[in-house]
Structure 1
Amino acid sequence: MIEHHFRNFVSDKLNTYMSTGELDGGTMTLVLIVISLAIALICFMVAHHVFVRFFNHILLKTNKPLAECVTNNRVFEKLSILTPLLVLNIFIPIAISHYDILSTVIDRVLAILILLVILWMVYCFLDAVNDLATYKGITRRMPIKSFVQLIKLFTFFIGVIVTISILANEAPVILFSGLGVATGFVMLVFKDTILGFVAGIQLSANRMVSLNDWIQMDSYGANGTVEEISLTTIKVRNFDNTVSMLPAYALVQNAFINWQGMSDSGGRRITRSVNLDVTSIRFVSKEEVEELTKLRLLRQYIFEKSKEMDDYNQSLEQDDLEANQRSFTNIGLFRAYLNAYLHANKDIHQYMLIMVRQLQPTPEGIPLQIYGFTNTTDWGLYEGIQSDLFDHIYAIMPQFGLRPFQQLTGHDFAASNDSLSSKI
C-alpha cells in the first residue's frame, strides 16, 4: 500500500538523520509524537485558512449557487479535518513502532477516524447537492432527496463493512462476498426503504407528485401541500396545519388526487346548483318581459328571442291558442340572465367553459347548475367569488318570479298556525 511505503520512506529518512540511528527509547518517541502533532496542527491551519478559503473563493466566482450550498454544508471544512488525521496516520505509528500492540491499535483507530471523516464529507456533499437541486427547482420534478438518502444508506453500509474489515484486518472483498447470506434479512428489515425507493422512481418518472403540490388522499386523511419527499415517506402539510406522513409506496398503490393541474391552469371550477321550486315555474306575460328588459344583461337576449318568437307565432295563421305559441318562461329568462352575468363577471375565467344548465329533477326541485371557472386558484379568493355569485343569484331570483326550494322549518309551521288562528 502507498501508506506503508510512505511510512517506510519516512522511517528510513529519520533513521538516517537521527544520531541514535534507531527509533527506540521513550525520549525519542515523545519527541516524534510532538513533532507529528505539530506537523498535523500546521497542516490543519494551512488547509483551513488557505486551501478551504481558496476553494470557496474560486467556487464563488464560477458558480455562486453551488458555492453557497457547499459553504452552508461546510464540505471543505471536513477536508481540513481530514488532513491532520492523514498526517497522524503516517507519523504516529512510526513514532511508536517499537510498541507493536499500541502501534496496531492507534493505526486502526486513526484509519477508522479517517473513514468516518470521509463519510461525513460525502454526507455533507450530498446535502449540498440536495440543496442545489432544491434551489434550481429540480426537486419539484424528481425526488432528489430520496436518491440522496439512498446513497447515504448505501455509503453507510460500505462504511460499516470497511470498518469491520479494518478491525478484523481482513480485505473488504471477503466481507462483501458474505453479504449474499444476509440478503434475505436485509430485504426484510429494509422492506419499506426498498418499496419507497421503487415508488420514488415511479413517482418521478410519471410525474405523479412534486414538492408544493396540493394532493388529497382520503384513505390517509391527507389534504394539503407536499412539503417533503423522502426515501420512505411523503410529508403533507394539511390545511388545518396538521402534518400527514404518507408511505411513498402508498401513492403508487392507492388512488389520490393531485390538484396541481388545477393550480397550473389558472382557473378553479365552480359546480354548484340552486334548487328551484317547480311550482314557481310559469310563462311570463308581455308586461313582465317589458319589465325585465330593464335588466341591461337581458336586453340583447330578449330582443333577439322576441323577434324569433314573433316570426314563429305569425306563421301559425292566426292560431291564438297560447299553448301553440312560443312564449318566454321565467326559468328560461333566468338561465339567460345568469349566463350573461357569468360572461360579464370579471372574476370568472372567460377562456374556460361557462354554462348554466338544468339537471334531472329531484324531490327537492329542479337543480339549476352553475358551471364555470374562477380566474384565480387561491382558495380564499375562490370561496369569496363563489359566495358573491350565489348571493346575487338568490337575491335576484324573486324578480323572475322564482322561488328556491327549501324544506319546511319550524318557522313555517309557526307562521301557518298563526295564519289559521287569525282566520278563526
Structure 2
Amino acid sequence: MEKLSHKIYDYLIDSGLSAEWASYINLTILLIGLVVVLFLIDFILRKILVGLFTRLSINSKTHFDDLLVKNRAPRNIAHVVPLVLFYKAIPFVFRDFPVAGPFLLKTIEVIGIFLFLWIVRSLLHTIKDFLKTLPILKDKPIDSYIQVFMIFAWALGLFFAISVITGVELWKFFTALGTASAVIILVFRDTIMGFVASIQVSINDMVRIGDWITFEKYGADGDVIEINLATVKVQNFDKTITTIPTYALISDSFKNWRGMTNSDGRRIKRALLIKQESVRFLDKSDVESLQKIQLITEYLKTRSTDIDKYNTEHNIDKSMLINGRNLTNLGIFRKYIDAYLNNHSGVNKEMTIMVRHLDPTPQGIPMEVYAFSNDKRWANYEYIMADVFDHLLAAISYFDLEGFELPSSTNFKS
C-alpha cells in the first residue's frame, strides 16, 4: 500500500517536477481516487442492505423490519464500512503531510461518533414506532422515553467528541461535570422538569394518548395526540392544536374526561328557571285536571287520597288552601320530570336520576335535572339532552307555571 501510494509521486519526480508539487499532485490524485472508490462502495452497500431489508420486510410476518427500512437504519449502517476504510487509508494518502493526517484522523473519529449516534437514533425511532403498534402501549408516552435515551446518547457522544478533539481523557470531563452541574441544570431545566413530569404522568396514569382533556389555562379542550419530553399536544374540537408543557400536567389543574368515557353514561346537569310568582297550591279541580297526564295519574290518585285522609283525621279547615297538607304545581311538575326521565329511552336507568330545587335566585327557582345519557358520543349526547329539555320547556305551561326570561323589546312595546 505504501509503495502504491508513492508510485505517482516517484513518476512525477522522474518527470522533473519539484518534490513539493509532486507531493500535492500525488495527494490530489490519491484523494480523488479514494473518494470515488469509497462512494461506489457506499452506493453498492446501501443498495444491498436496503434491498435485503426490504425483501425481509415483505416476507416477514413482523412489522419491525418494515419500520427499520422506514427509519433508514440499513442506509445509515451502510456508511460504516466506507468510513472505516477512509480512516485506514488516511495514513497512506497523507504520508507526506504529517500535520494534516492526524487532524483528518480526529475529524473522521468525530464523524464516526456522530454516525454511530445517527444509527442509534434510527434504531430508537424504529423501537418507538414498533411499541406504538402494540395495543398495551398504544396510549403510553413512548416519545418521552425515547427522547430521554436520545438526550443521554447525544450528551455522551458530545463528551466523546470533545475528548477526541482535545485529547483529554473522558473521565476528566465527568469530574468537571460536578462543578458545572448548576449551569447544566439551568440550561436543561425544562428538559429535566419534562422528564420528571413524563415519568409521573406515566406512573400515575394521569394522561394517555387519546384522552379528552380540558385545560382552561392553555385554552385546550380536545384529544391528546402526542406526549413527549417537553410538550403535550392536544387537538381541540375545532381542529386547532394546543401545545402544553409536560410539567404543567403535574403543576396545574386540568380535567381528564376519561372517567366519563369509561363509565356507562354521560352526565346531564342543567336547570330550568321557574318564575316564583307562578308557584301555587292546587285545589281539587286542578288535581283532577292534572290526572289526565298519564305519567303522573297513579301518583296523583294515591297522593290525593293520602292527603285527604290526613286532613280529615286532623280536622283541617280547608276553606283556605294553605291549611293542612296540599299539593303544589311546582311539586307535581318535579314529580312529572322524574317520571319522564325514568321513561326516556336515552337516559341510563342504572345511574343516578334526580330532580332537585337549587337555591332561589333573582331569576327564579332553578329546577335542576341530574341524570346520565346512555350514549356518550358528543352529537348523540347533545341530541338526548336537547330532546329532554325541549319536552320540559313545552310542558311547563300544563302545570300553570312560567319559565323565567329577561324582558325583550317586544315586552316593552306591548
TM-score by length of 1: 0.81
Structure 2 counterpart of 1:191, one-letter code = R
Any conservation in 1 of the 2:232–2:244 contact (CA below 8 Å)?
Answer: yes
Three-state SS of the structure 1 residue aligned to 2:6 is coil
Larger deviation, residues 315-324 vs 132-141:
315-324
Deviations 1:230-269, CA, capped at 9 Å, x for gaps: 2122222333444332222222112121122112224221
Q: Aligned partners of 1:406, 1:156: CA distance in 2, in Å? A: 65
Give the TM-score taking structure 2 as reference length: 0.83
Q: Which residue of 1 aligns with 2:344?
A: 345
What aligned pairs does 1:16-415 form with structure 2 within 5 A after superposition? 24-26=6-8, 40=38, 43-44=41-42, 47-58=45-56, 64-137=62-135, 141-306=139-304, 308-309=306-307, 312=310, 315-316=313-314, 326-415=325-414
Q: Is the 8 A contact 1:36 1:92 kept in 2?
A: no
3-state SS in 1 of match to 2:225? strand
Relative to structure 1, is the Cα distance of residues 232 and 138 closer, same or farther in structure 2, using a 3 angstrom cutoff? farther
Tell me how far 1:326 sits from its aligned partner. Answer: 4.5
Deviations 1:73-99 (A, max 9, x none): 121221112222223222343444454
1:380 is displaced (CA, Å) by 3.2
Q: Percent of aligned pairs with the same residue?
A: 33
Kept after mapping to 2: 8 A contact 1:24/1:98: no
- For the 8 Å contact 2:210–2:224, the answer to whether it is kept is yes
Quote the offset at 1:33 in angstroms: 6.4
How far residue 173 of structure 1 moved from its aligned partner, in angstroms, is 3.0
Q: Secondary structure at the match of 2:163?
A: helix
Change (3 A) 1:178 1:325: closer
- Equivalent pair of 2:316/2:324 in contact (CA under 8 Å): no
Structure 2: distance between partners of 1:123 and 1:369: 57
8 Å contact kept, 1:347–1:385: yes
User: Do the aligned residues in 1 keep the contact of 2:229 with 2:246 (CA within 8 Å)?
Assistant: yes
Contact 1:39 1:87 in 2 (8 A): no
Q: Find the aligned partners of 2:166 and 2:7 in 1 and give their Cα distance.
A: 30
The Cα shift of 1:69 comes to: 2.4
Alignment gaps of 5+ in structure 2: 11-25
Unaligned residue ranges in structure 1 (runs of 5+):
1-13, 416-424
Give, in whole Å, the separation in 2 of the partners of 1:367 and 1:144. 48
The size of the alignment, in residue pairs, is: 397
Other structure's SS at 2:184 match: helix
CA contact (8 A) 1:357 1:368 kept: yes
